[in-house]
Homo-oligomer: A and B are copies of this chain.
Amino acid sequence: MVTQSEISEQQRVDRVFRALADATRRDIVRRTLHAEASISELAADYDMSFAAVRKHVGVLEAADLVARTPRGRERIVRGNPETIRRAMELLGHFEQIWRGRVDRLDALFAEDS
């Protein structure tokens, strides 16, 4: 049996935004979208331990913002543009809601005149 630990869409969205709410993690996403890198290569450029960077990569992976694939003794990290795109779409829906309100206000003014 494949136990698909049931996780809601809400929680998945929570994880994406939570993962993006840290400058180091945003930088890792940026870098690994630009070019893949091993965790050690990533860690070399931050003022914190390897273990800390490893945890950040774990948070990003749980949010599906990066993928981690083995290559020899290394783990290659790649950014996932699809998850970024989904987050953008979500924010786009918020903007649409706002535009909807503006349209309704416009309609009210139109009735007035």
Q: Which positions in A face B, CB cutoff 8 Å?
A: 10, 13-18, 20-23, 26, 29-30, 33-35, 79, 81, 84-85, 87-88, 91-92, 94-95, 97-98, 100-101
Contact = CB atoms under 8 A, between A and B. Distances in A.
A101 to B, nearest CB: 6
Instruction: Give how many copies assemble into the complex.
Output: 2
Interface of chain A, main secondary structure:
helix
A94 B35 contact: no
A101 B34 CA distance: 6
Contacts of A23: 10, 13-14
A51 to B, nearest CB: 22
A21 B14 CA distance: 4
